[in-house]
Amino acid sequence: MKLPTVPGDYRGTQSQFLVISQDTGKAIRGPYRADLYFGSGDLAGDLAGVMKHTARWTVLLPFGLAIRVLPGS
């Protein structure tokens, strides 16, 4: 995923990190969408405002849950 590093950075810088889902949010609509928290304050708002980049998500599940939700199990 690419993240903006300065306000107005529509290109972003390639980044990889682990995130935790804490909120499903009512504004998040459609499959494979997420909302990243950039913090509070003017800089965080400026960075979040230009965050429109494509991301690749990998979902980690406990083994028992994965067995129950995988197709064919």
**C-alpha gyration radius of the chain:** 15
pLDDT tens for 35-64 read 788 899 999 999 888 887 778 888 888 999
Question: What's the average model confidence in pLDDT over 13-25?
Answer: 81
Report the run of H or E that residue 13 belongs to, with start and end.
strand 13-14
β-pair partners for 3: 13
Regarding predicted confidence, which is higher, 26 or 62? 62
Q: Average pLDDT of the chain?
A: 83
Report the C-alpha dihedral over residues 36, 39, 25, 23, rounded to 10 degrees. 90
Q: 0.75 exceeded by the pTM? A: no
Give residue 73's pLDDT. 57
Question: What's the average model confidence in pLDDT over 7-14?
Answer: 88
What SS3 state is found at 27? coil
| Domain map (residue ranges) of the chain | 1-73
